Structures are given as structure tokens and as C-alpha cells.
Amino acid sequence: MSQKRSEEEWQAVLSPEQFKILRKKGTEMPNTGEYNKFKGKGVYCCAGCGTPLYTSDTKFDSGCGWPAFFDAIPNAINRHEDLSMGMKRVEITCAACDGHLGHVFQGEGWKHTPADERHCVNSVSIKFTPEEEEKKE
């Protein structure tokens, strides 16, 4: 489901920091995001539109200073070539609202990840939803 809005509409629903990162492709400072070292069980959704993006089962501690995941929920993100910063990178965005999430890095030698990928995501771009507790009978 597409979540297309005007710049003014995004500014009305996002905090200034969320707008800078999600809509203007900014980056939060390393080791400052609330989900960098967070270990809760649940789902990480887009902070802009609420689309589920990652599960806690794919999150790992990469030491990079941002939340890291080795895979996204199928069809939740799009990948784009990013030639900014004088290098070739792969930007990741929310498939529903096109909000900037961060970048994917491949071939870094992550032996415990199935695809040897690190999705380096800004905490500001995501919102955690905890797993529902098992229903007691």
C-alpha cells in the first residue's frame, strides 16, 4: 500500500529529526539511536507510515553504531543505488512510503547471517512494536 504525501503533509506528521532522516535522507549520529543496543522481541515498523519492516529475529549487534538487521520482511523495503558521499552504496527505503531507512552493506564476513548482509538502519526511521504475550488458557 503506497503512502504518498506532500512534503508539507510529512512535516506535519513527523518530528523535525524524523523528517530530516526519513524524507531528506539524513543520518543520525552513531551510537545515539534508541534501538542500537535494544534487544526486545517484536517487529520494527517504519516510523513514517507504520509498515512492518524487520523482525527482532533478524537483528544483530554489528558494532557499527546503528541498529543492524540481516534481512527485511519480504517486499517491505526497496533498494536504490546511492552514489553520494563519493562512494557506491545501496540505500534502503520503505516500500510503502519511500522513507529513507539507511543502507545495506554486503560481503563484510558476517558468518552468523544467512546472506552476509548488514542493513544499517537509523533508529529514527523505525518504531518498535513488542511481541504479544502468549495467550493463557
Rounded Cα distance, 119 and 113, in Å: 11
Question: In the annotation, is 49 catalytic?
Answer: no
Are 98 and 106 in contact by the 8 Å Cβ rule? The answer is no
Give the active site residue among 45, 46, 49, 120: 120
**Catalytic residue positions?**
120
